[in-house]
Amino acid sequence: MPSPVIEPLLILQDRDTKRLALEAQLKAVPGDIARVEQKIAAEKAAIETARLEARELESKKKLIETEIGSTGDKLARYNTQQSLVKKNDEYQALGHQIETAQKEINEFEGQELEVMYAIDEAKNKFTAAEATLKANISGHESRIKLLREREVSLAAELKTAQAAVAAAREPVSETNRRIYDRIAARNMPAVVALHDVKCGGCHLKVSSEVESAARGKGLDVAGQLATCDQCGRIVYWES
């Protein structure tokens, strides 16, 4: 049994540990929510990217169609002119222009086909991205809802835990409370048992003075605490 000085400290430490765990869990919730929100945003962005891509390709297609139209007009004009000219060299020059215009049209048509394939691809991407969001959104939303509920219940649990800590501090003397707080701020657990003369916190051997103090020999009525030579934790003898 731990000494009457150590016992309330162990109770305080136990409650403090619970409080710290709750605090850590509560602190993690906003980050968890943000991660889910980021997933939703990323899925929405994928839809928007595919939509914009399809739209850009559609306007590119329209531009090519305009080019095909105007080159076609040019071709028709050359054909008419060619049917009217008498001189052979003029006929040949127009024939050359007709050939060039026809080549241009073929090229534009090839481009148009490529764009049309790309539009199909972009539309497929859009559909797939939309399906992904649709499939995941309810999961994402219920996860966020769950996290928000968890945040509320953790906050309530933390309040209870804080009250329990406050109650556990009462039976500890002011001096010991101060020692405990100082150690707990940097090293939890702050109160550890000695195992084979080794500190339960840092696992290093303590001096014989600390050992005998922990055993309660020479412990004054004020209940002076034995602390580890190495890490400074409060050590006690578990008999």
Residue 12 contacts Zn ion per CB under 5 A: no
CA distance 213 to 126: 74
Q: How far is the CB of 224 from Zn ion (least distance, A)?
A: 17
Question: Given the complex with Zn ion, which of 115 and 193 has the nearer CB atom?
Answer: 193
Closest CA to 236 of 169, 191, 177: 191
Question: Given the complex with Zn ion, which of 8 and 201 has the nearer CB atom?
Answer: 201
Contact flags string 171-210 toward Zn ion, x per CB under 5 A? ----------------------------x-xx--------
Q: How far is the CB of 210 from Zn ion (least distance, A)?
A: 9
Q: Is 156 exposed, middle or buried (0-12, 13-18, 19+ CB in 10 A)?
A: exposed
Among 228, 234, 236, 237, binds Zn ion (CB under 5 A): 228
Map the footprint of Zn ion across residues 99-138, applying CB under 5 A: none
Residue with tokens 């550890």: 192
Q: Which long-range contacts (CB under 8 A, 24 or more apart) does 94-101 make?
A: 101/71, 101/74, 101/75
Contact flags string 68-97 toward Zn ion, x per CB under 5 A? ------------------------------
Q: Is 88 exposed, middle or buried (0-12, 13-18, 19+ CB in 10 A)?
A: exposed
Are 206 and 198 in contact, with CB atoms under 8 Å apart?
Answer: yes
Among 115, 129, 225, 231, binds Zn ion (CB under 5 A): 231
Contact positions vs Zn ion (CB under 5 A): 199, 201-202, 228, 230-231, 233
